[in-house]
Chains A and B, each alone.
Chain A
Amino acid sequence: MLAKSLIVFLFLLTGCKHSECKPDTTRCFTNLVELCDTEEEWVTAMDCSEVAGDDLLWYCCPYEDPNLGLVHTCLPEACDDE
Chain B
Amino acid sequence: MTNDLQVTPDLVRGLWAHLSGFYHTRVVSKANSTEMRVVASALKLMGVLDAQVFMSDFVTTLWRTIYVPFKIGDERSSWSLWDQITVCVHEHQHVEQLIQDGWLRFTTQYLTSSAKRAVYEAEAYRCDMELWFWKTGNLLNPGSLVKTLGNYNCKASDIRLAEHLLNFSAITVKKGGVINMASQLAIKYLEKHGVPTV
List A residues at the B interface (Cβ < 8 Å). Answer: 23-24, 26, 33, 35, 37-39, 41, 43, 45-47, 50-54, 58, 63, 65, 67-68, 71-76
Choice from B114, B116, B157, B169 contacting A45 with Cβ under 8 Å: B169
Least Cβ distance of A74 to chain B in Å? 4
Bound: A45/B123 CA distance, A:
7
Q: Which residues of A contact B175 (CB under 8 A)?
A: 53, 75-76
Bound: A75/B158 CA distance, A:
25
Complex contact A35–B165 (CB within 8 A): yes
Least Cβ distance of A79 to chain B in Å? 13
Is residue B167 within 8 Å, beta carbon to beta carbon, of the partner chain? yes
Bound: A38/B119 CA distance, A:
10
Choice from A23, A50, A74 contacting B161 with Cβ under 8 Å: A23
Q: For window 164-187 of chain B, which residues contact chain A by CB distance below 8 Å?
A: 164-165, 167-169, 171-172, 175-179, 181, 184
Choice from A23, A35, A43, A46 contacting B172 with Cβ under 8 Å: A46
Complex contact B168–A58 (CB within 8 A): no
Q: Which residue of B lies closest to A24 (CB)?
A: B164
Q: Which residues of A contact B118 (CB under 8 A)?
A: 37
Bound: A63/B167 CA distance, A:
12
Complex contact A39–B179 (CB within 8 A): no
Is residue B155 within 8 Å, beta carbon to beta carbon, of the partner chain? yes
Q: Is the interface of B mostly helix, strand, loop or mixed?
A: helix
Is residue B32 within 8 Å, beta carbon to beta carbon, of the partner chain? no
Bound: A50/B172 CA distance, A:
12
Least Cβ distance of A67 to chain B in Å? 8
List B residues at the A interface (Cβ < 8 Å). Answer: 113-116, 118-119, 123, 155, 157-158, 160-161, 164-165, 167-169, 171-172, 175-179, 181, 184
Q: Which residue of A lies closest to B164 (CB)?
A: A24
Least Cβ distance of A18 to chain B in Å? 13
Bound: A71/B114 CA distance, A:
23
Q: Which residues of A contact B161 (CB under 8 A)?
A: 23-24, 35, 37-38
Q: Which residue of B lies closest to A35 (CB)?
A: B165
Complex contact B179–A74 (CB within 8 A): yes
- Please name the 6 residue pairs, one residue from A and one from B, whose CB atoms are nearest each other, closest first: A53-B177, A71-B168, A37-B115, A53-B176, A74-B172, A51-B177
Complex contact B157–A76 (CB within 8 A): no
Bound: A41/B114 CA distance, A:
13
Bound: A41/B169 CA distance, A:
19
Complex contact A39–B169 (CB within 8 A): no
Q: Which residues of B contact A24 (CB under 8 A)?
A: 160-161, 164
Complex contact B115–A65 (CB within 8 A): no
Least Cβ distance of A66 to chain B in Å? 11
